[in-house]
Amino acid sequence: MTQPSPLLAKFIKLYGYRPTEFDKRYLEYLDMGNYRVLPVPDVSPGKCCNCGASRNDGRQYLDTGRHVEWYGAIFFCGLCMREFAEALGLLNIVRAELEETKALLVTQEALANKGEMLHEVILKTFEEVKEYYAGLNLHPVGDNPSSDPDPSVEPDKAAETKPATNETKSRATKSTSGSGRTNLPSLAELLNAKPD
């Protein structure tokens, strides 16, 4: 599935649905995107329609792409646009988002510092554990412990000489007081019984 254009994605986010090509809202939204930002107005009347400024003094001018009969192109200067944004409360929204971003960055930096500190503690602890086990003079895994046995520990000779047996022994069954059969044979007896 192809990604929608940035303008279409903005429309879907704003209105919550995918428009048809004849949707009036969408056509208006497309017209809203037909603007240019210029250092000075380049089309007649060549001035901000709000304050009348047209000089190149560092402010930028927004060409709305609209042309009004008997007047000309509609331009707004950057200073007027800022006034509009403040009046609409748009700058407060941006300031709030900026404060949230700053708080998030501070939190991420604190977490990164804690992570580095924990990493150093873990490395130090690992080195201490290695030194501790090196001082115990233990045999590494897989070495034959019979090559240099500890003199204080004697091997179990009875376990070495006695062969393992796999005999099943019969056990006595208990008689139960109650109804039913008594002196039932054990499961081992039943398994060892020879068929007739």
Same domain, 15 and 77: yes
CA distance linking residue 125 with residue 138, whole number of Å = 19
Residues 41/62, Cβ–Cβ less than 8 Å: no
Same domain, 101 and 81: no
Domains held by the chain: number: 2
In sequence order, the β-bridge partners of residue 159 are: none
| DSSP annotation string for 33-92 | T--EEESS--STT-SBTTT-----SS--EEEEEEEETTTEEEEEEHHHHHHHHHHHTHHH
**Residue 118 falls within a domain, yes or no?**
yes
Consecutive sets of 10 residues in the chain, 196 residues long: mean pLDDT of each?
A: 69 79 74 76 84 86 83 87 88 89 92 92 89 74 55 58 57 56 69 68
| pLDDT given at position 171 | 60
Same domain, 69 and 43: yes
Same domain, 71 and 42: yes
| pLDDT given at position 164 | 55
**Residue 50 falls within a domain, yes or no?**
yes
**Residue 192 falls within a domain, yes or no?**
no
For residue 184, which of 194, 169, 174 has the smallest C-alpha distance?
174
Same domain, 40 and 102: no
**Residue 172 falls within a domain, yes or no?**
no
**Residue 187 falls within a domain, yes or no?**
no
**Residue 174 falls within a domain, yes or no?**
no
Same domain, 78 and 107: no
**Residue 79 falls within a domain, yes or no?**
yes
Same domain, 127 and 80: no
Same domain, 62 and 113: no
Structural domain span for residue 122: 97-137
What distances in angstroms separate CA 181 from CA 171, 172, 176, one per listed residue? 18, 15, 8
CA distance linking residue 121 with residue 134, whole number of Å = 20
| pLDDT given at position 101 | 93
Same domain, 118 and 71: no
Helix ranges (H only) for 61-168 are 78-88, 90-135, 157-161
Same domain, 124 and 51: no
CA distance linking residue 38 with residue 56, whole number of Å = 10
**Residue 30 falls within a domain, yes or no?**
yes
Same domain, 73 and 102: no
pTM score, two decimals?
0.40
In sequence order, the β-bridge partners of residue 22 are: none
Domain boundary among 29, 62, 90: 90
